[in-house]
């Protein structure tokens, strides 16, 4: 380690930005974290040990990367902004367990990168990131769709999105995103982060969400995962309307279809007048499966 203050300190961040003439890019969602306590708490919430391989999405100027390098076995950081690559190479040069590559995470073949870039790909793989807010959901959906078995996904996001990820049925934050996460993971908010600790300061507060694989398997499996989530999104298209109205938009209004839908709902003991946000994931799966059996999905 060099004698300079750590990258995440305000003074060092300012010095790095000045030295390399860095102007943050809004188009890449660049808000750099400048609070060492918060950075260290993120590493702790992610439970990073020397036996872990970490993938960091969007290292920026390396504030979180440096903390990860001190705790993890190896760190692979994917940064879309090529202007930051030479900066990262230089500021992270004291750490020989970090690799930085110029890569859009949404275009990345993660299983291949893991095989190619980590010396020991068999170690637990954890994702840690201060996510670019404009693509939080697509990044999460990509991570979950990937065949990689993530040991932990510990990510900072806009507080309002964090609340959607961890919402309970019947609340206004509960929706298709909550259910997509719940299908595979357990989500909890580790702590909130004030907008004031970023450069530049965004106009929303943030929260750290920790996702870990489900420990309890789902009691029912969907007939088709992709179709299930297409169906769920359709059911939430008009949140203020009843499940029945949403089902009519998704499936159809034909009298024969309506008759079958009525029978399916009665059989599952689900009121047609219920709002979609009252249904649990298990109920959505049962409903989709039953509609599929009637050739309606």
Pair of tokens at residue 15: 């010095």
By CB under 6 A, residue 66 contacts ligand SAM: no
The answer to whether residue 204 forms part of the interface with ligand SAM (CB under 6 A) is no
Closest to ligand SAM by CB, 110 vs 281, is 110
With a CB cutoff of 8 Å and minimum separation 6, the contacts of 262 are 272
Q: CB within 8 A of 157, min separation 6: which ones?
A: 131, 133, 136, 165, 206, 207, 209
| 277: contact with ligand SAM by CB under 6 A | no
Query: Which C-beta is closer to ligand SAM: that of 204 or that of 237?
Result: 204
- 52 marked ligand binding residue: no
Instruction: Compute the distance between CA of residue 172 and CA of residue 152 in angstroms, rounded to an integer.
Output: 27
Q: Which of 101, 32, 100, 85 is nearest to 63 (CA)?
A: 32
Q: Choose which of 6, 52, 74, 79 interacts with ligand SAM (CB under 6 A).
A: 79
Nearest to 70 by CA among 95, 99, 35: 95
Q: Binder to ligand SAM among 6, 12, 28, 155 (CB under 6 A)?
A: 28
> Distance from CA of residue 177 to its chain's centroid?
10
Give the helix ranges, DSSP H, for the chain: 10-19, 36-45, 63-71, 85-91, 110-117, 136-145, 159-165, 176-184, 225-235, 243-251, 255-268, 281-293
CB of 51 to ligand SAM, least distance (A): 23
CA distance linking residue 32 with residue 84, whole number of Å? 12
Query: Under the criterion CB under 6 A, does residue 59 sit at the interface with ligand SAM?
Result: yes
**Window 94 to 123, contacts with ligand SAM (CB under 6 A):** 104-106
- The β-bridge relationship of strands 125-130 and 98-102 is unpaired
**Considering the rule CB under 6 A, would residue 81 count as an interface residue with ligand SAM?**
yes
Does 182 bind ligand SAM (CB under 6 A)? Our answer is no
The reply to whether 75 sits near ligand SAM by the rule CB under 6 A is no
Choose which of 60, 73, 175, 276 interacts with ligand SAM (CB under 6 A): 60
> Is 58 flagged in the annotation as binding?
yes
Q: Which residues line the annotated binding site for S-adenosyl-L-methionine? A: 31, 33, 58, 79, 104, 130
Contact residues for ligand SAM (CB under 6 A)? 28-33, 57-60, 63-64, 78-81, 104-106, 130, 132, 135
Binding-site positions: 31, 33, 58, 79, 104, 130
């Amino acid at each position: 380690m060099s004698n300079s203050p750590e990258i995440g300190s305000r003074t060092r961040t300012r010095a790095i930005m000045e030295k390399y003439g860095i102007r943050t890019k809004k188009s890449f969602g660049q808000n750099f974290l400048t609070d060492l306590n918060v950075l260290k708490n993120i590493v702790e919430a992610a439970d990073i040990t020397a036996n872990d391989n970490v993938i960091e999405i969007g290292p920026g100027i390396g504030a979180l990367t440096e903390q990860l390098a001190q705790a993890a076995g190896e760190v692979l950081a994917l940064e879309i902004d090529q202007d930051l690559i030479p900066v990262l190479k230089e500021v992270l040069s004291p750490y020989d367990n970090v690799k930085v590559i110029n890569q859009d995470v949404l275009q990345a073949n993660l299983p291949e990168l893991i095989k190619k870039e980590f010396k020991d790909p068999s170690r637990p793989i954890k994702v840690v990131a201060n996510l670019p807010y404009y693509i939080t959901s697509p990044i999460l959906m990509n991570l979950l769709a990937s065949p990689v078995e993530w040991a932990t996904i510990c990510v900072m996001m806009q507080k309002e999105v964090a609340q959607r990820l961890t919402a309970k049925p019947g609340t206004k934050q509960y929706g298709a995103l909550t259910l997509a996460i719940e299908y595979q993971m357990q989500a909890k908010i580790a702590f909130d982060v004030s907008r004031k600790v970023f450069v530049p300061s965004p106009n929303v507060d943030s929260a750290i969400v920790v996702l870990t694989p489900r420990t309890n398997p789902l009691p029912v499996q969907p007939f088709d995962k992709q179709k299930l989530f297409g169906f769920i999104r359709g059911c939430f298209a008009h949140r203020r309307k009843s499940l029945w109205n949403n089902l009519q938009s998704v499936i159809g209004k034909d009298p024969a279809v309506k008759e079958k839908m009525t029978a399916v709902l009665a059989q599952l003991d689900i009121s047609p007048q219920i709002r979609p946000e009252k249904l649990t994931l298990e109920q959505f799966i049962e409903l989709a499966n039953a509609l599929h059996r009637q050739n309606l999905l």
